[in-house]
Amino acid sequence: MPNRRPAPEPKASDLNRHLRWAVSVLGLSVLARLLWMLLSTNGMNLVDLHVYVGGSAALLTDHLYDFTYAEKTPDFPLPFTYPPFAALVFFPLHYLPFTVVAVVWLLAIAAALYVVVYISFELMLGAAALRAPRWRVATVGWTAVGLWLEPVRTTIDYGQVNVFLVLGGMLAVRSSRWWISGGLVGVVAGIKLTPAITGLYFVARGRWLTVVWSALVFGATVGLSFLIAPEEARRYFGTLLGDADRIGPVGSVWNQSLRGALSRILGHDVESGPWWIVAVLVIAVLAFLAWRALGPDDLLGTLIIVQLFGLMVSPISWSHHWVWLLPTVLWLVYGPLCPAPGARILAGYWLVTMLVGVPWVLSFFQDSIWTISRPGVLAWLGAVDVLGVVVFYMWVIGSGRRRARSGAQGGVAVTTEGPAHAG
């Protein structure tokens, strides 16, 4: 495909006006979320934040995993499902008024999302390019859009931790210092196990010291858990770790993992049986081939492929876990393969499905969160993210190979590992 000519830089006055508009939209979006939280009847539900705060308070009583929060969820009392180290991180929160925690949490999510968008651009364009005013406008604007995408807005509604975990992974990839990258991965994996999949990124990049250090840091979080709360640590790592049912209903439409989608389509929980194993093998092959089709310096593309793979193979991937789809959209619109046919269509697919909130819409059509069997059309619609990832991987494989054959260079790419930090 031919090289694209860079778009002409808009006039400074136009950029300043666009930046003011973008900042205004972002500020109004945050204000709207804040007013909804403080003034609406259900705004302070924040069920997961209640679990973090209430559960962590039980850390030192040997009742961390007996705790449940049921005030807003009487049909499913919510337990504390994270490792003991997470309770240690959240422990100071229970000393503060919950309203204060909730407001700070919302503002911190918005700030973290801005940094996620910024690093996404930085990994694609390099730090120097982001000094251009047009990219400041784009960063603020996409942050405003991101606040209204279903994974982020449900993260805010529940008081979830997902945006912070995504930020941890992005910061780890941004740095070329092994001790920073590995330390961040180890800590976020200690808070919630699923971000450990980020280690595959460093395997793909051949950063073995980072991989080893991340494993050691994660091990340190486990050791600290046994030191602070030995009974709870033995209980979590001994019996609770593999219990997906304790996390929630596998067949609920909110679960957008492979296991969830297959279970709804087949009408029963496939667990880790033959259907799931075959599906995981297929996804693993597609993810590997997609990674191999990327350019050697496509840092964000590699990270996205790894994170989407993790979301697919996890037993439970609630729709609010899919914050990684925002960097995916940015990569499709601005990344090295953005000139390829279909890039805008895929980006539009993710934007529309996230703005609508397909799992949220379909949740009104399920009799119970525990019911797996449902009409076929609803089951297939409920696989919106799984099917999207399969198509995305296949598109990357085809587009990357076509680019390699033509020898064309589309979009922009960084030339160093960790564009913002050297050494």
What pLDDT, in 10s, does the model give residues 284-340? Answer: 999 999 999 999 999 999 999 999 999 999 999 999 999 999 999 999 999 999 999
pLDDT at 417 > cutoff 60: no
What pLDDT, in 10s, does the model give residues 60-112? Answer: 888 899 999 988 888 788 999 999 999 999 999 999 999 999 999 999 999 99
What pLDDT, in 10s, does the model give residues 82-91? Answer: 999 999 999 9
What pLDDT, in 10s, does the model give residues 252-290? Answer: 999 999 999 999 999 999 999 999 999 999 999 999 999
**What's the burial of 364, exposed, middle or buried (CB within 10 Å: 0-12/13-18/19+)?**
exposed
Q: Where are the domains of the chain?
A: 14-178, 249-423
Confidence of residue 212 (pLDDT cuts 50, 70, 90): very high
Residue type, 406: S
Residue 368, pLDDT score: 81
- Average pLDDT along the chain: 91
Mean pLDDT of 341-364: 96
Give 7 or 399, the one with higher predicted confidence: 399
Residue 412, pLDDT score: 45
Q: Which two tokens stand for residue 59?
A: 């850390």
- The rounded distance, in Å, linking the Cα atoms of 355 and 148 is 6
Confidence of residue 2 (pLDDT cuts 50, 70, 90): very low
Quick check: helix, strand or coil at residue 5?
A: coil
Give 56 or 15, the one with higher predicted confidence: 56
Do residues 272 and 243 make contact, with C-beta atoms less than 8 angstroms apart? no
Pairing of β 68-69 and β 78-79: antiparallel
Residue 8, pLDDT score: 59
pLDDT at 1 > cutoff 80: no
pLDDT at 12 > cutoff 90: no
Nearest to 230 by CA among 346, 19, 64: 64
Share of the chain above pLDDT 70, in %: 93
Share of the chain above pLDDT 90, in %: 78
Stated pTM of the model: 0.91
Give 415 or 220, the one with higher predicted confidence: 220
- Which of 60-69, 226-235, 241-250 is predicted least confidently? 241-250
What pLDDT, in 10s, does the model give residues 98-148? Answer: 999 999 999 999 999 999 999 999 999 999 888 888 999 999 999 999 999
Confidence of residue 6 (pLDDT cuts 50, 70, 90): low
Residue type, 419: P
Residue 11, pLDDT score: 67
Mean pLDDT of 347-365: 96
| Helix extents (H) in 267-383 | 274-293, 299-313, 325-334, 343-356, 358-363, 376-381
pLDDT at 422 > cutoff 60: no
Do residues 221 and 186 make contact, with C-beta atoms less than 8 angstroms apart? yes
What pLDDT, in 10s, does the model give residues 159-211? Answer: 999 999 999 999 999 999 999 999 999 999 999 999 999 999 999 999 999 99
User: Token pair 């997961």 is at which residue?
Assistant: 48
- The rounded distance, in Å, linking the Cα atoms of 309 and 387 is 13
